[in-house]
Amino acid sequence: MRLSTKAQYAVRAMVRLSLEQRETPVSIREISNHENISLTYLEQLFAKLRRGELVRSVRGPGGGYVLARPADQIKVDQIIDSVEETLIPVSCMDEFGNCACSDQCVTHTVWQELGERIRGFLSSVSIEDLTREAQERIRQQRAEQSEDSK
């Protein structure tokens, strides 16, 4: 199974928002620059994330986006759902796990269980988890750069 670019970009953008969020909102342009994602594409994603109540927009000078709730309460599966992506592992199943084949295929059970396990895993991973991981990676990169410059 392969997640779409839309789902990957939405998760990356949410982690970047969590990394950059300070006392003021974070602009989409800042996220676009850090993540090398098209500004227009991010605007579309953030409209969906806002409708999914995962981010809030702040208007005016210094405006941008903030997480709508604490990062530990936002799970990866919620982000994917909000940008209207599916976690179904095969094309013959609908979002309820029903098989589109005229007779249920003999492998239906394995695909259904795989979909449930994928969703279970992604619902256990929060933006806070990914933010901590990203912060550690950034610290390691800075330490390596510091060592290289000596």
Question: Is the CB of residue 42 less than 8 Å from the CB of residue 9?
Answer: yes
Domain extent for 93: 5-148
Q: Which residues of the chain have pLDDT under 70?
A: 1-2, 94-98, 102-104, 150
The pLDDT of residue 142: 85
pTM beyond cutoff 0.95: no
* CATH number of the domain within which 56 lies: 1.10.10.10
The pLDDT of residue 24: 84
Q: Residue 65: which of 74, 53, 55, 52 has the closest Cα?
A: 55
| pLDDT tens digits for range 106-139 | 777 888 888 889 889 999 999 999 999 999 998 8
Neighbour tally for 20: CB within 10 Å: 16
Within 13 Å of residue 122, how many CA atoms lie on the same side as its CB? 19
Structural domain total, the chain = 1
The pLDDT of residue 10: 97
The pLDDT of residue 32: 96
The pLDDT of residue 73: 97
> How long is the chain?
150
The pLDDT of residue 70: 95
DSSP letters spanning 62-105: T-EEEESS-GGG-BHHHHHHHTT----SSTTB-TTS-B-SSS--
Rounded CA separation 143/9 (Å): 27
Residue written as token pair 């912060």: 135
The pLDDT of residue 1: 60
